[in-house]
């Protein structure tokens, strides 16, 4: 079995890694957003798992439609549907934050319609300042105390420092793999990269790092991909379905980089290991590469996108936005103006959380590939 195949075992909702963890008598918590500090959970010897809903069927979310309304994004409706079907029964609780109004409402609905033994919501400020840094540190300190009280554990500074080192190692390894994608012939597809990141959010982090190190070495020795038509950057909202990227890559668009919450925005920034651990965690999570929920951070997001476009030699950008995602509707509206000014081709795709309408998507992507080839 290859390393990639081993990592792929960790992608399903209930996987062998989670089962082994639970068989050791340990707890598992699901979380909904990259602003949730995984290190605090992991330091409590609890496994943090990013909540996803890839087994949800398109158009089959009666409870999600009833309680979230059909005009809520399909990701939140799918999550509520699977929670109602007890498909998250491997979780001992959920942790959320006010990442957007729809995630906030999802937390409320799960709590009252499909409850878990443990629920917690962290207040994440919508801007960054000295005041909000202090406030956020207070928020995550309360979260730490809640974990200690409810799971009868002690989260010492030493445990936090160890967790920080483990997660920083993941970030460094992932960044090394991303740097390999700068090559003219990258050794890995965007589809494979999304699978790797998804696996890391669904298995013990030290075991993930071990496999990730092996994967990195294999990729360094692997012959690169040369039969592609264009180098693509993906930008947008929650995307955890590799089949979506496979549609693009089957048409010759090799995804070499991204700006997504299951991508660069998840791992790009390290935590300072030389500071007080709780202070360092708070600073990193509030000041990391921001998503559109963070006011005043648009210039930094633009600069980050343009820097990646240059470093990864991107031919064109594909914006993907889940229908009814208000934050990304506004963000993409502004980002595309920047790309127009810079003369960088882009394609905007509205989608549902579950891959649907693949035929229409293929038609538009194929036309985009032809434009990019004509520009070379």
Query: 37-84 pLDDT, tens per residue?
Result: 999 999 999 999 999 998 888 678 898 888 988 889 999 999 999 999
pLDDT value at residue 64: 87
pLDDT value at residue 134: 96
Interacting residues of 4 by C-beta distance below 8 A, sequence separation 6+: 192, 195, 196, 215
Domain parsing of the chain, residue ranges? 16-153
pLDDT value at residue 14: 83
| Collapsed DSSP state (helix, strand, coil) of residue 323 | coil
Distance CA 360, CA 207 (A): 40
Question: Residue 11: pLDDT band by 50, 70, 90 thresholds?
Answer: confident
Cα 218 off chain centre by = 24
Residue 273 burial (CB count, 10 A): 11
Which has more confidence, 357 or 62? 62
Give the ranges where 115-241 is alpha helix by DSSP (H).
130-151, 157-180, 190-200, 205-221
pLDDT value at residue 288: 94
345 close to 315: Cβ distance less than 8 angstroms: yes
- Evaluate if residue 357 carries a pLDDT over 80: no
> Mean pLDDT, to the nearest integer, of 11-29?
93
Question: Residue 345: pLDDT band by 50, 70, 90 thresholds?
Answer: very high
Cα dihedral 3→211→51→180 (10° resolution)? -80
pTM for the model stands at 0.95
- Evaluate if residue 356 carries a pLDDT over 80: no
116 close to 94: Cβ distance less than 8 angstroms: yes
What's the CATH fold of domain 16-153?
Rossmann fold (3.40.50)
Which has more confidence, 354 or 177? 177
- 174-233 pLDDT, tens per residue? 999 999 999 999 999 999 999 999 999 999 999 999 999 999 999 999 999 999 999 999
- 234-271 pLDDT, tens per residue? 999 889 999 999 999 999 999 999 999 999 999 999 99
Distance CA 34, CA 266 (A): 6
47 close to 147: Cβ distance less than 8 angstroms: no
> Mean pLDDT, to the nearest integer, of 291-317?
96
Question: Residue 7: pLDDT band by 50, 70, 90 thresholds?
Answer: very high
Interacting residues of 259 by C-beta distance below 8 A, sequence separation 6+: 233, 234, 235, 236, 265, 289, 301, 304, 305, 308
| Collapsed DSSP state (helix, strand, coil) of residue 267 | helix
């Amino acid at each position: 079995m290859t390393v990639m195949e081993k990592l792929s075992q960790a992608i399903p909702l209930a996987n062998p890694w989670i089962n082994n963890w639970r068989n050791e008598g340990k707890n598992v918590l699901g979380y909904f957003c990259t602003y949730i500090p995984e290190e605090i959970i992991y330091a409590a010897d609890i496994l943090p798992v990013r909540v996803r809903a890839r087994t949800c069927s398109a158009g089959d979310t009666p409870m999600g439609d009833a309680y979230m309304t059909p005009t809520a994004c399909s990701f939140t409706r799918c999550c509520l549907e699977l929670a109602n079907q007890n498909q998250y029964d491997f979780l001992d609780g959920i942790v959320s934050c006010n990442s957007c109004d729809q995630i906030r409402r999802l937390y409320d609905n799960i709590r009252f319609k499909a409850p878990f033994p443990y629920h917690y919501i962290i207040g994440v400020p919508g801007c960054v300042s000295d005041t909000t840094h202090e406030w956020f540190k207070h928020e995550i300190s309360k979260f730490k105390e809640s974990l200690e009280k409810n799971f009868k554990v002690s989260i010492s500074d030493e445990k936090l420092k160890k967790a920080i080192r483990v997660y920083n190692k993941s970030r460094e390894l992932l960044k090394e793999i991303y740097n390999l994608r700068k090559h003219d012939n990258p050794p890995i597809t965007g589809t494979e990269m999304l699978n790797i990141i998804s696996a890391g959010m669904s298995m013990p982090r030290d075991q993930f790092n071990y496999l990730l190190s092996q994967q990195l070495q294999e990729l360094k020795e692997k012959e690169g991909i040369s039969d592609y038509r264009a180098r693509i950057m993906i930008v947008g909202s929650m995307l955890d379905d590799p089949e979506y990227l496979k549609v693009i890559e089957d048409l010759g668009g090799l995804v070499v980089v991204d700006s997504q919450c299951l991508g660069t925005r998840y791992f790009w920034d390290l935590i300072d290991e030389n500071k007080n651990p709780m202070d360092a965690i708070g600073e990193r999570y509030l000041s990391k590469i921001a998503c559109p929920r963070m006011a005043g951070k648009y210039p930094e997001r633009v600069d980050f996108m343009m820097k990646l476009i240059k470093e990864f030699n991107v031919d064109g950008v594909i914006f993907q936005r889940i229908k009814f995602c208000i934050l990304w509707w506004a963000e993409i509206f502004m980002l595309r103006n920047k790309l127009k000014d810079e003369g960088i081709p882009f394609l905007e795709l509205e989608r549902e959380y579950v891959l649907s309408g693949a035929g229409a998507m293929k038609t538009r992507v194929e036309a985009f590939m032809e434009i990019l080839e004509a520009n070379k």
